[in-house]
Amino acid sequence: MTQLHDLTALEQGELIATGKLSPVELTEHYLERIDRLNETVGAYVTVTGDIAREQARQAETDAAQARREERPLSPLFGVPVPVKDLNFVAGVRATLGSVAYAENVPAVDDHVVTRLRAAGTVLLGKTQTPEFGLPCYSENLVAPPARTPWDLERSAGGSSGGAGTAVASGLAPLAHGSDGGGSIRIPASVCGLFGIKPSRGRVASGPTFYDISGLSTSGPLARTVRDAAALLDVLSGSMPGEPYAAPSLAAGETFRGFADRDPGTLRVAVLTQAPVPGVEVHADCLAATESAAELLASLGHSVETLDLPADDTLRNVFGQVWAVMATQTPVAEEDESRLMPLTRHLRALGREVSGPDFAMALYAFRAVGLLVSQLMEAYDVILSPTLAQPPALVGGLRNDADPASEFDAIAAFTPFTPLYNATGQPSVNLPLHWTADGLPIGVMLGGRYGEESTLISLSAQLESARPWAARKPSLW
């Protein structure tokens, strides 16, 4: 029998708009599941039940008024959307994954939350993230670790791991995440979801924290391409003072609309060799990529192998910038010792990076972006593994005794994803492959700057050819 959480987010929104589903009923359904399953999967750090119920009641009233006035609503009106715990919701605890911020309650909304409110979505809570979003797993000292529901011994990835397992476990229909080095695409890969890292400047990042490196951006995690595209429509848009702005869609266009368009015949470059020296790509990740390449060819696309020389430059400069950015979260001197070993290690490294070295690292990002943009004059998209390994065990990447080695292990686990953070290009994870043991293995598509529309159209075509949303973990 179909349950409410079996419906896609857009199906839920349509039923709410037509009066066939109550936002209150939908919200209570998810709150009941969260109460029953959250301790198992570690999706939420803070559950905002009172806020969710109040917003759902208001959404029900507003939806009824809109029907009387024959006025259209946002496609996600009344649909629950949790927010990652790195972002601020006024009046709601924001721990940033750290005991140093365990009692932090901001007074303002981040811009993404302002947009979610304007679209009429319902806040179920704040989702799990590692301390300051630094590693690619979602484990901290604040709340239980985020686990992929496909194997509860394994991590849901990071840093949007709570968002990933919330959607994959049926504790939210879709979720807000953020991505500074793969933090949307990594959880999407290990949780069997579709995730979009938008182009730099597509989604406003303020008003409290600005990532001056340009690495990070917010974006959606969802079970379907259309749901993710609809949430990207909600999140997108510049704000005064933003340092970047991606090209706008033509008037009247939406990302959701591109999910219903044929992408045409595209030129696809296939990259299977990790662009980092000494990193071996697991056979399951290679198999997923090769299978996706065959599927693309069968759909009429031109598919060619791409060999890029392995080079330590991007890893080295990314490490410098990542360490500097780790210092940007204010921490009281008496709380520094309470931070996790990796956080303390990166903050110490960041304080040692000179101004000229930081400037040269950012310059290297721009140089890489130029090289990749020139490469993409010959190709429309690049296909690669999302990760170099299958989902890691909970605690499998942590090394509190040797955080330097931990950071190296993280780089080896995620050698493909940071490229698009450095260049600012859009990138998506597609859940097209599962191992013989039932673990999801994602593949990644990267596109030209500002062309999320192409990735969405192509992803929807692939989803139609090899549907994945009906595949669910046992706790579903």
List residues with catalytic annotation. 84, 159, 183
Nearest to 245 by CA among 424, 369, 446, 366: 424
When computed from its CA atoms, the radius of gyration of the chain, rounded to whole angstroms, is 21
CA distance 342 to 414: 17
Say which DSSP state 146 is in: P
Place of tokens 């910038």: 321
Within 8 A by CB and 6+ apart from 162, the residues are 42, 43, 44, 45, 82, 84, 85, 127, 128, 129, 138, 146, 156
CA distance 79 to 56: 9
Torsions phi, psi for 435 (to 5 deg): -75, 170
CA distance 284 to 377: 30
Say which DSSP state 38 is in: H
| CB neighbours of residue 264 within 10 Å | 12
> ∠ CA 153-154-158 to the nearest 5 degrees?
145
The CA-atom distances, in angstroms, between 452 and each of 249, 268, 456 are 10, 15, 6
Q: How far apart are the first and last CA of the chain?
A: 13
Pairing of strands 267-270, 381-385: parallel
DSSP string, 244-302: --PPPPPTT--HHHHTTS---S-EEEE--S-SSTTPPPPHHHHHHHHHHHHHHHHTT-E
DSSP string, 63-82: HHHHHHTT----TTTT-B--
CA distance 187 to 161: 5
The answer to whether 424 touches 362, Cβ cutoff 8 Å, is no
Query: In this structure, what token pair is assigned to residue 28?
Result: 């209570």
**Residues 120, 247, 224, 8, Cα dihedral to 10°:** 20
